[in-house]
Structure 1
Amino acid sequence: MSQILYNLPPLSPDYSGVASVFHDLGALTVIHDASGCTGTYTGYDEPRWFGSRSPVFCSGLRDMDAIMGDDDRLADNIITAAKETGAPCITVIGSPVPMVVGFDFRGFASLVEHRTGIPAFGFAATGLEYYDKGQRDAYIALADRFLPEQAKPDSRKVNILGASVLDGFDGPAMDALESLANEAGLQVNTVWGARSSLEELKSAGNAGFNWVVTAAALPLARWLEKRYGTSFAAGLPIGGGETGRIARFLRDAAAGKAPAAALPVPGRGGKPAAVIAGEALFAASLRVCMENEYGIGPAAIATFFGEGREFLGETDRFLVTEDDAREVFSGGTVETVIADPLMEDLLPETSGAAFIPVPHRAVSGRLHSESCSRYFGAGVRDILAVPVR
Structure 2
Amino acid sequence: MRGLRKVLTPFAPDQSGAESVLYELGGIIVILDAGGCAGNICGFDEPRWSSRKSAVFSAGLRDMDAVMGRDRLLVKKICRCAEKIDASFVAVIGTPVPAVIGTDLSAVKRMIEAQISLPVLTMATDGMHLYDRGVQLAYMALLRELDRRGMLEEPGNSDQKPDRAAGHANQNPDGAARDMERPPDGAAGRMESAAFPDGRRTRRAGVFGVTPLDLPNGQCAELIRLALQAEGYDEVILYGDGAALEDYRRAGENDVNIAASPDGLEAVHFLNQRFGTPVEVRFPGAVRMLERAERERSDREKADYNRPDCERPERQGKSCTLIVQSQILGCSIREALIKQEPGQRIVVASWFEMDQELMQPGDVRLREEDDFTHLVQMLKPDRMIADRVMERLIPAFEGTFVHLPQFAVSGKSEAAV
TM bucket (normalised to shorter chain) is 0.7 to 0.9
Q: 1:130 to 1:122 in 2, by over 3 A?
A: same
Q: Distance in 1 between matches of 2:319 and 2:249?
A: 44
Q: 1:359 to 1:181 in 2, by over 3 A?
A: closer
Correspondent of 2:401 among 355, 366, 369: 355
For residue 272 of structure 1, report the CA deviation from its aligned partner.
Answer: 8.1
Secondary structure of the structure 2 residue equivalent to 1:47: coil
Amino acid paired to 2:34:
A
Q: Distance in 2 between matches of 1:296 and 1:24?
A: 44
Secondary structure of the structure 1 residue equivalent to 2:242: coil
Q: Distance in 2 between matches of 1:242 and 1:291?
A: 14
Amino acid paired to 1:60:
G
Q: Which moved more, 1:75-84 or 1:285-294?
A: 285-294
Q: 1:283 to 1:189 in 2, by over 3 A?
A: closer
Correspondent of 2:372 among 297, 307, 325: 325
Correspondent of 2:387 among 318, 330, 340: 340
Secondary structure of the structure 2 residue equivalent to 1:302: strand
Q: Distance in 1 between matches of 2:250 and 2:379?
A: 51
Correspondent of 1:176 among 201, 223, 233: 223
Match of 1:370 in 2: 414
Q: 1:240 to 1:119 in 2, by over 3 A?
A: closer
Match of 1:256 in 2: none
Q: Is 2:342 aligned against 1:298? A: no
Match of 1:218 in 2: 265
Correspondent of 1:287 among 325, 328, 334: 334
Larger Rg: 2
Q: Please list every run of 5 or more consecutive structure 2 residues that lacks an aligned counterpart in the other structure.
A: 157-189, 192-200, 292-317
Q: Distance in 1 between matches of 2:406 and 2:44?
A: 12
Q: 1:89 to 1:298 in 2, by over 3 A?
A: same
Q: Distance in 2 between matches of 1:92 and 1:327?
A: 40
Amino acid paired to 1:357:
H
TM-score (norm 2): 0.75
Q: Distance in 1 between matches of 2:58 and 2:288?
A: 45
Q: Please list every run of 5 or more consecutive structure 1 residues that lacks an aligned counterpart in the other structure.
A: 244-270, 372-382
Q: Tell me how large the CA RMSD over aligned residues is.
A: 2.7
Fraction of identical pairs, as percent = 31
Q: Is 2:155 aligned against 1:151? A: yes
Amino acid paired to 1:280:
Q
Q: Please say if residues 229 and 236 of structure 2, whose CA atoms lie closer than 8 Å, have aligned partners that are also in contact.
A: no
Amino acid paired to 2:29:
T
Which structure has the highest helix share of the two? 1
Q: Distance in 1 between matches of 2:144 and 2:5?
A: 35
For residue 123 of structure 1, report the CA deviation from its aligned partner.
Answer: 0.9
For residue 228 of structure 1, report the CA deviation from its aligned partner.
Answer: 1.4
Amino acid paired to 1:364:
S
TM-score (norm 1): 0.80
Q: Please say if residues 90 and 121 of structure 2, whose CA atoms lie closer than 8 Å, have aligned partners that are also in contact.
A: yes
Match of 2:53 in 1: 53
Secondary structure of the structure 1 residue equivalent to 2:114: helix
Secondary structure of the structure 1 residue equivalent to 2:44: helix
Q: Please say if residues 210 and 230 of structure 1, whose CA atoms lie closer than 8 Å, have aligned partners that are also in contact.
A: yes
Q: Is 2:74 aligned against 1:74? A: yes
Q: Distance in 1 between matches of 2:349 and 2:101?
A: 34
Q: 1:157 to 1:340 in 2, by over 3 A?
A: same
